[in-house]
Structure 1
Amino acid sequence: MAHFGFENDIHSVLKLDMPITNAPMARWQRKASTSASANTSALSPSKSSNRSISMSKTPSKTPGKSGKTQNTPSKAGGDRFIPTRNPTRMDVATFLMSKENEPVDQTVSASAPTQKAWSVTLNGYDLEEAKILHLGGKPLNAPEGYQNNLKVLYSQVPTPVSIKKTRYISTVPERILDAPELKNDFYLNLMDWGKHNLLAVALSEQVYLWDAAPGDITMLKKMEDENDFICSVSWSNDGNFLAIGTSDCKVELWDVPYNKRLRSMDGHHARVSCLSWNDHVLSSGSRSGLIHQHDVRVADHHLCTLRGHSQEVCGLTWSPDGRYLASGGNDNLVNIWPSVQGASQQTAVHSFTEHQGAVKALAWCPWQPSILASGGGTSDRHIRIWNVNSGSCINAWDTCSQVSSLLFAPNYKELVSGHGFAHDKIFIWKYPSLAKVTELEGHDGRILNMALSPDGSTVASISADETIRLWKCFEKDPSKKPKAASTSSIIQQHIR
């Protein structure tokens, strides 16, 4: 009996290696039968295909751990979808994997047309010709103390927008100087800034010079009579000579380096309220409405008299090219005079009557010598831009305030205006649109005069509050090269 029991055990063990006749079809057999059934006609399915489909069905619900039922895929092919991997897709995948590991500077191979076709097939367009945004190279490191790191990261490639820097204009004066006993007279011109960085200021009967570099102050002149006072000051083009107009109807010429008065010129019958230089010719306007032309090189200095104003001449300035002299008066007129050519009497080229108030503020455009800006007093309050070649008004703007002084800032091509009643501020305008850039406030009284520093970076304003404020609004662009300055002086050659 033991022998038969041993044989039965051997047979039962050997049955494990025999094929299982009643087991479900293997997975690879199901896939082969599914592919074979797909190739046959759908209208006449074979028995084997029907059998394979029926055998591949699995229960639609399977008990879970919690006793609930879960839905399972019921489509043919099992419970997991395996995509068809044809040879073309495998080649594309191999190409993309190898492309990522290639160096950037690798030359294009001979199979470029095939690679381009694969790229179009895979992406729908050629990547080489597509216009996409990308960041080439490593991102830049932000400078020390820089706040906006994202701007540095996405501005590696310089563009016109990223290169352009926003200009900052300080609304606080860089320096404040005291100006005690200043004459609060709208018609006087009591300050001018010379080429050698010397600021001349008239305080009552005295003239002071402030050296902007070291900050030294010296007194140049004092009137002998206490009842007389200084009415106007103006530097020569080379910055070596200072013209002074006084209340006793005289025009004095001072040699500043030697601190010496060279001459005193008579001829006016009222106070001299404005002065302007054109090389060796000095023009002076007085309260009588007359303008005298002086040649400071000769003993007989008087060249001619300009008669065009019925009241005090309070504004006087020569154009940068020396062709025209502009004069403004209390009679609301702006006259344009030609340069002196030896004639004893001259007539104005143009006479503008559009202003409704006294015209003291006059300024020529440095980069357009035929353009003149003029400002009206309290009754007018307008800034007007003139073309003296055609005699037409290009632009007019109501500032809603008395205009006492005008300056052109060549560093940024802007116009600066000083105002009295009722704003007592300084406005910076974009030229020629006259769009307001900013406004500078701090004076407690009306602004009487303004002057621009030799480098064009700083504006000095003198006010009825007896202070001089320096505003650094037009610092030069470091990328621009400064022009070479000429040191020749016709006045110095003939006087010394």
Structure 2
Amino acid sequence: MLILKMENCRKKSISYSEHKTVTTGLSALSFNNVKCNINRTDLKKILFKTPNGKKTALCLSAKKKQTPGGITNDRYIPNRVVSNMEIGYHLLHSKNSQDEDRENHVDQVKRKLINETCNGVSERAKVLNLHNKNEWENSEKSAHYLNSLVNSVKKNTKRYISPTPDRILDAPDFRNDFYLNLIDWSCSNNLAVALDQHLFLWSAGTGEISQLFGMDEESPDYICSTSWQPDKGNIIAVGNSKNTVELWDAETQTCLRQMRSQKSRVGSLSWNNFILTSGSRSGEIHHHDVRVAQHHVGTLKMHEQEVCGLKWSSNGRHLASGGNDNLALVWDANYSIETSQPLHVFREHTAAVKAIAWCPWQNNLLATGGGSSDGHIKLWNANSGNLIQSIDSMSQISSLLWSKHYKELISSHGYSTNQLTVWRYPDMTPIADLIGHQSRVLMMSMSPDGEMVASIGADETIRLWRCFAVDEKLKKSKDLSIIKNKSYTALSRCIR
């Protein structure tokens, strides 16, 4: 019967190969990709009955079917007819392009962050200017300077800092007031110290001490702040509790003029060329032009409590102020307009902000320090207003100073450490702790050569620390580079 069925299929011109494969379905059989259309009745005839009466499917193989005795391996043959290879190829390459775009975006963000953090220059800055470049656009902020900065960070060389002061001076009747600024070092190497109603000058070169002036001892008034004019080492501004700012000539020991515009004591002073800026207990900041008779040229109103910190940037473009209202503000250099809108308002401090210091080699970098309930040193980008870094010193911060020789920061502290701490920039790791004061340190000032720091505390002592002494070889190399730069500048000016 099976032979008759096979001969019927030959009559229908169906060719079979040596390796035949039969696929059963509803209406078709396939033999090596050759299809034979058979209706449902013919399919039933192909099936035959066994002697037991059971139907068995057709098997063309001569070998007997073996029962699988274990795990057998099979080969998967994909059906490429239903697969769209073009779409798969497109999706595979589009995924790689998306990953590349994502990596490029991360690199752009990283470069932008490094540029704004280190240089303070945004992408919207002008590429071609027809005027002279500002100080913050000099060649130091180039890619070579960034590479040298990275290399300097990698060099973790330790230097020796003496833990003991170089000299100790007595400061009797020093006023223990955190909000006053009673010490300043002039460019002529004279240290001015205000002791209650008297102002004394100590010459660091000769060691001589002289009294510049004294207030009426019967009056309750006292000196609140002192500040030397940066360009002239003989002019000093003195603020007092009589709401007055006085200008004195240290050489002739005469009072040049008195300027009154505040409504309360003047606790902070800062110079910007011929403009003297004063901060008062009322929270107002006043600008005085010392060249003219009508000295008052502007007022800044934003602080609600006493202004205890005041500093102009080295390029004279920005003014930073700190107050007892826990605010640190950055103002534009506009003297003639009375305004209450600063460029940036920093509210991150939780205590009075007295410690303020501008970076001498990076004009847009500002450091601020909080009081006893804060204790944080914060670094800001003055151009963008972004917080760069915050360090917890675990102590009250009274003043901050930058070292241009070693690219470091020194801070003075009150309760509970009563010490000075030197920090390495930019990782802000502590290098040395200078311990010696028996009570809180209230103020610091740096010598004109940048090698020594004078600190005064509530223990009525002035301690001189040689913490930034420069190596003679390094100092000579720097002097030679300065001379070369000056000669090149003079030569370039002669060429027309």
TM-score (ref. length: structure 2): 0.64
Contact kept, 8 Å, 1:272 with 1:285, in 2: the verdict is yes
Contact kept, 8 Å, 1:191 with 1:199, in 2: the verdict is yes
* 1:214 is aligned to 2:211: no
Residue 172 of structure 2 aligns to which amino acid in structure 1? P
Q: After superposition, what is the alpha-carbon deviation per residue over 1:122-164, rounded to whole angstroms, capped at 9, x for unaligned?
A: xxxxxxxxxxxxxxxxxxxxxxxxxxxxxxxxxxxxxx9xx99
The residue aligned with 2:478 is 481
Counterparts in 2 of 1:349 and 1:165: CA distance versus 1, 3 Å: closer
The residue aligned with 1:447 is 441
The residue aligned with 2:242 is 248
Deviation at 1:269, TM superposition (A): 1.0
In structure 2, C-alpha distance between the alignment counterparts of 1:193 and 1:357, rounded to whole Å: 27
In structure 2, C-alpha distance between the alignment counterparts of 1:466 and 1:430, rounded to whole Å: 29
The residue aligned with 1:230 is 223
Q: After superposition, what is the alpha-carbon deviation per residue over 1:8-40, rounded to whole angstroms, capped at 9, x for unaligned?
A: xxxxxxxxxxxxxxxxxxxxxxxxxxxxxxxxx
* 1:178 is aligned to 2:170: yes
2:226 aligned counterpart, secondary structure: strand
1:345 aligned counterpart, secondary structure: coil
Task: Indicate the structure (1 or 2) with the bigger Cα radius of gyration.
Answer: 1
Contact kept, 8 Å, 2:302 with 2:340, in 1: the verdict is no
Residue 168 of structure 1 aligns to which amino acid in structure 2? Y
1:481 aligned counterpart, secondary structure: helix
Which of 393, 416, 421 pairs up with 1:422? 416
The residue aligned with 1:149 is none
In structure 1, C-alpha distance between the alignment counterparts of 2:407 and 2:336, rounded to whole Å: 35
The residue aligned with 2:296 is 302
Write the mapping of 1:99-138 to structure 2, written as runs, cut at 5 A: none
The residue aligned with 1:191 is 183
Contact kept, 8 Å, 1:205 with 1:226, in 2: the verdict is no
The residue aligned with 1:322 is 316
Structure 2: stretches of 5+ with no match in the other structure: 1-151, 487-496
* 1:282 is aligned to 2:280: no
Contact kept, 8 Å, 1:418 with 1:449, in 2: the verdict is yes
Structure 1: stretches of 5+ with no match in the other structure: 1-159, 487-496
In structure 1, C-alpha distance between the alignment counterparts of 2:173 and 2:391, rounded to whole Å: 34
Deviation at 1:258, TM superposition (A): 1.8
**RMSD of aligned residue pairs (Cα, Å):** 1.8
In structure 1, C-alpha distance between the alignment counterparts of 2:157 and 2:265, rounded to whole Å: 49
Contact kept, 8 Å, 2:412 with 2:442, in 1: the verdict is yes
* 1:397 is aligned to 2:391: yes
Which of 334, 349, 352 pairs up with 1:340? 334
TM-score (ref. length: structure 1): 0.64
The residue aligned with 1:365 is 359
Deviation at 1:458, TM superposition (A): 0.3
Residue 169 of structure 1 aligns to which amino acid in structure 2? I
In structure 1, C-alpha distance between the alignment counterparts of 2:414 and 2:165, rounded to whole Å: 18
Contact kept, 8 Å, 1:282 with 1:293, in 2: the verdict is yes
Contact kept, 8 Å, 1:364 with 1:373, in 2: the verdict is yes
Q: After superposition, what is the alpha-carbon deviation per residue over 1:20-71, rounded to whole angstroms, capped at 9, x for unaligned?
A: xxxxxxxxxxxxxxxxxxxxxxxxxxxxxxxxxxxxxxxxxxxxxxxxxxxx
In structure 2, C-alpha distance between the alignment counterparts of 1:468 and 1:171, rounded to whole Å: 15
In structure 2, C-alpha distance between the alignment counterparts of 1:171 and 1:377, rounded to whole Å: 25
The residue aligned with 1:383 is 377
In structure 2, C-alpha distance between the alignment counterparts of 1:168 and 1:470, rounded to whole Å: 17
Deviation at 1:273, TM superposition (A): 0.2
Counterparts in 2 of 1:285 and 1:301: CA distance versus 1, 3 Å: same
The residue aligned with 2:267 is 273
Paired positions, count: 325
The residue aligned with 1:412 is 406
